[in-house]
Structure 1
Amino acid sequence: MDAPEIAIPHARPRTDYDAVIVGAGVIGLAVAWRAAQRGVRVALVDPEPGSGASHAAAGMLAPVTEAHYGEEQLLRLNLASARRYPEFVAELEEVSGTSAGFSAGGTLAVAFDSGDRAVLADLAEFHQRLGLASEPLTGRECRAHEPLLAPDVQSGLLVSGDHQIDNRMLIAALLTAIGRAHVQLHRERVAELLIEHDAAAGVRLADGRILHAQRVVLAAGCRSTSIPGLPSGVLPPIRPVKGQILRLSVPASAAPFLSHAVRGVVRGRQVYLVPREHGELVIGATVEEQGFDTQVTAGGVYELLRAAHGLVPDVGELPLTEVRAGLRPGSPDNAPILGATDLPGLIAATGHFRNGVLLTPITADAIAECLVTGQLPEEAAAFVPQRFGKELGRFAKKAAFA
């Protein structure tokens, strides 16, 4: 008699890499590209690459006009990343063969009334104290630079070194670049972070496949700390911060609409208008602590359009082509979390809040260096997860009782 057949459970397929990167926004894409350039065998995992906050962003590269009191350390990182952008873009465009949409047109920050003018004057003084380049302008001088500005604009600051990039063109160029660098892109959801021998060892995908790796990089934006299997307390919570943003079309008959990115304070509300060379105007963005809500609201759209119309009345004549809400990843101190965590094999590249696009070059270089040498460059050393110290333990306790 033949021996009975024994059913053997189907083994889940496993693939080995040097690094698995979870999340394919601009940060994850750029880290994958830079790491692959340095010989790292990289897998990138995201069900919809480039579709989150990176897709919704305005692409402002504005470390000076976005400088805030008490964030001087973050400002230095932002400035260092901004300095890298021209070379980063030139290399990316050469590799990808496509434009990344970089524009060096500068930024004009303007004030609408006397209260807003005082805010702008304080910002100018802050810039001067830190040695940042900005040129104070009268309202008339502002309109000489941008004729469509409202007569009520009272003053301004011209920051020639604050630029912009078309974030969607940047994503497309990075997707091409990682393909040519032989990065393996898995368009699938991560079902679990794998831990073996008390160290991160890869991920299991929703379709059952296992991607085994010596290092795992969490670059999943506001969902970085929601990955199943991530131990409590390894990272502080990354919260979603909602931002509603509008896109308008500029007809050829109205071009050029604006020559600079325009940032304004209108009755205490901040707004920016970012012109694209291909005939688009981006208006943004609200800052809302609403959890994972991505609904566009009438109130949010109204406030943005009202503020933009106050600065540039002709905005009211442009076709509205897109309204969208994205979720920025905010850390407890609103600064990025970079480098090795206390879980061996797990590296963070998240928490960039409003500066994800701006910090893309320096984050990519820093995490690639960390993957290759195990060390974070000095310029990024202040942003390690361990900076929160005992707070991580309290974060873990809060999570346990949530």
Structure 2
Amino acid sequence: MSDVEIFHEEIAKGALSRKVERTWVPGARDRWSRASGRTPLHVEPEPVADVLGWLDGRVSADFDPATGLGWQLSFARTTDGGAVLSLVAAHAIADGAALLDAVTRADGGTPAPVTEPSGPLAAILDDLADARKQLSAAARWVLNRPRGTKKTPPPAKTSPQAPADWRVPHVVVECDSADLARTAAARGGSVNSLFVAALSRVAATAGCADAVVPAALPVSGREPDDARANSTRIAVAGLDRSVLDEQDLAEVKAECKRAYQRLAAASPGSQPLALLQMLPDTVVRRLPPPPAATVLASNVGRLPGELCGAPVRSVSATAHYPGAGPEEVATIGDGVTGWLSDSGERSTISVCGLAPGRINDVEELRELVVSEFAAWGVAVRPW
């Protein structure tokens, strides 16, 4: 058995192999249980030349967490003598931190499977306890919710018409980590603040941004041995266009810090999540979506330097939107999303353009991203 096959087996033993178990107790949340099935390892028969094209082609819209088919591992040799590994998972079963944890544990031979109640009676007792907890949380929110006049939502932005066959463009670029760090320090900031500022300026150049650019900054709440599929919360920084125009990373860094502080100070009970959990799916689908940020900038951080017994050259992390057309994406927002990954000597920036009519294809997005980093003095190399 090859190292990749062993890795596949170890992932299948871990937390990604989970499925939804419906509860019959009103108010209780559905729970995760161990999934017995798995998607087989896909091995590409011929070496690939277009690595990014192959990776994008491995994204599937057919995952179904209700049946336990929520992830797939794929492997290919490349025409330059290297190899590429793709792990795709439904966001419902793992956020970025959970996916990274699953990879690290699988490669180390220490997968953490989903825990389950010891039997039907234990499951019912767990559901009853969870229902009491959720009902209590919902009641507290109803009693303590802010009261006052309704806020008038801002007028919807009008976007240019997108081509009917528009799909979310995705580009990946990489650069030397040392160059990125030096450039950030020279402008009074950090690598993260440069990343956030660069994405915000890309959105502004594309015509997505107003005077203040709202940037969503994912923050992981994952703890050791955390079994949750999703533990991410979002801090939101408001970046003034004049600060971005001046490339003032000290102020960008300061505003990001204030956003993290606001998130830390916010009460976890300030959102009616327990109440939403109790609503039928048909009702939830009719609720208005929450306000979307123009930019989402996710700093994945430092990744393992070795995987399956081989050194890791570069890693790209991305949230995909398979099959989403312009109308559906327009409900998500009007801007860009990006992920920064550190592989040691190289840093990788993956960007999706969620701006139908403004960013219409891969070539436009690639030009925006490459030109933006060049404006900072950072040379990036597209995949």
Task: Check whether TM > 0.5.
Answer: no
Greater RCO (Cα-Cα under 8 Å, separation 6 or more): 1
- TM-score by length of structure 2 reads 0.24
- TM-score by length of structure 1 reads 0.24
Q: Write 1 or 2 for the structure with the bigger share of strand.
A: 1
